Structure 1
């Protein structure tokens, strides 16, 4: 039987799944054994263990009863940490697909996207969330580390195609001290020089021709299936239905056609790096 290797450090949900597998195997139970005890299918348990499906409150309480867990180290408490933690619900699932995608097309508004951030830029961004008491310092550190792990996951062979269209606000908005923005501009310029990347800026002058008002990402997997990811303030949504994703992909192509070319975008960022408005 194929056994998927788990990486508990990749996301809180992955850590939940790895712990569930470890405890099940410590009891010498198969997935079918646990399924019988908690009245879930073995397929469902496999999906939770491999982080393909999020645990629910009912599921975690059933698992706690099956293992006889009480006190502070319950699966229910871990579920609540995931639910109310620093990462949006749905985002860890997206990150898993992102790390395996053959092509990544992203559009961002307001801030440089995580895949292109320097650690210093990311830290400034999360420090403000701490100041607003939206997250804890520990959660801020988790977010910064995750951004760096996501970037590292894309350094692979064959290299994924990564197309980034940034709203002009991403490069115009100052973040932290001037040296933070200087380093961030240099990071963007270096990104544009890579053979598997495209960098474009969508200028303010696009006005109503801009097809998106919120950030969006479209992934193309190795089997050519496509999916899209978008976020609200409370959760992220990963859409796997190709028929629903195709209009998003079409709008993305329209966005690219209207945005500055890579040469024009690089020239704009070079001017900003030199302090020329």
Structure 2
């Protein structure tokens, strides 16, 4: 990302353009150009193509942007993390695995190593994933931490990841999380059945200006959306999910029972 940003700035300087002038030619804001040049945002494929067109670089920037995206992080995810680190409220819903913000290092390492064995990432990228997760989790311990509301599908605590020891430590971390003054933890039980309003993970961020952003992932990239008409239906569905989920006390009891039963009823 840093190398791409330096290259973009050098090309812009060669033409004597300001960031705003390049942005006008590309259809982006000068602020966005600045974020790319300083490595605070990754270049998307569309951004790189527009830059190649504006600068007449014959596809060089697009090829360089592909190298940026060939790391362990999904395209679009670093932008989400940037907003996550500033959010005053975080609402999460996860299916199947514990959300990254609450994963123990051992749990995260098991998932990274599984991706490595599948050939999806390199050993270096596996290490990067685990290290990056630790950076994300620091947002929960900043001087004024965000309010975090978490709803997990029951499958998150039933699916054993890494064996009994890893899962026991992970579930105990969830119990500790529920005891914090700025958190709410709920389980959406299997018995919700057809009353469950959503079937996909949800990431909602309330920013300092009280605007709300929604993040969603496809197979190849993630997307952050701040358009109110698109975010409100997701927020409504999340509230409905919370209303139908177990209370925090009942959720913690279910987690503790899973620990005692070694993750089996």
* Count of residues in Structure 1 that have an aligned counterpart in Structure 2: 255
Structure 2 Cα separation of the partners of residues 113 and 172 of structure 1: 14
CA gap of 1:266–1:32, structure 2 versus 1, over 3 A, is: same
- Unmatched 5+ residue regions in structure 1? 1-12, 67-73
CA distance in 1, matches of 2:186, 2:234: 18
TM-score w.r.t. length of structure 1: 0.81
- Counterpart of 2:49 in structure 1 is 58
**Structure 1's 173 and 49: CA in aligned 2 closer, same or farther, altered over 3 A?**
same
Q: Which residue of 2 aligns with 1:232?
A: 218
Unaligned runs of 5+ in 2: none
Say if 2:153 and 2:188, in contact at 8 Å, map to a contact too.
yes
Which residue number corresponds to residue 137 of structure 1? 123
The one of 248, 251, 260 aligned to 2:234: 248
Offset, 1:59: 5.4
Hey, what's the Cα distance between the residues in 2 that align with 1:57 and 1:47? Answer: 14
Structure 2 residue 111 is matched with structure 1 residue 122: no
Question: Residue deviations 1:129-156, cap 9 Å, x none?
Answer: 1111111121111111111110012321
Q: After the TM superposition, which residues 103-182 of structure 1 pair with which residues of structure 2 at under 5 Å, given as runs?
A: 103-182=89-168
Of 14, 19, 36 in structure 2, the residue corresponding to residue 48 of structure 1 is 36
Question: Match for residue 205 of structure 1?
Answer: 191
Whether the 8 Å contact between 1:35 and 1:42 is mirrored in structure 2 is no
Q: Structure 2 vs 1, CA of residues 52 and 129 (structure 1 numbering), >3 Å: closer, same or farther? A: closer
Tell me by how many angstroms 1:113 deviates: 0.6
Shift of 1:201: 0.6
Structure 1 residues 33, 89: closer, same or farther in 2, change over 3 A? closer
Superposition map of 1:32-111 within 5 A? 32=18, 40=26, 43=30, 45-50=33-38, 51-52=40-41, 54-55=43-44, 56-58=47-49, 78-111=64-97
Cα shift at 1:58: 3.1
Among 168, 175, 187, the alignment partner of 1:189 is 175
Query: For residues 191 and 160 of structure 1, what CA distance do their matches in structure 2 show?
Result: 13
Q: 1:163 to 1:22 in 2, by over 3 A?
A: same
Whether the aligned pair in 2 keeps the contact of 1:102 and 1:219 (CA below 8 Å) is: yes
How far apart, in 1, do the equivalents of 2:16 and 2:180 lie? Answer: 47
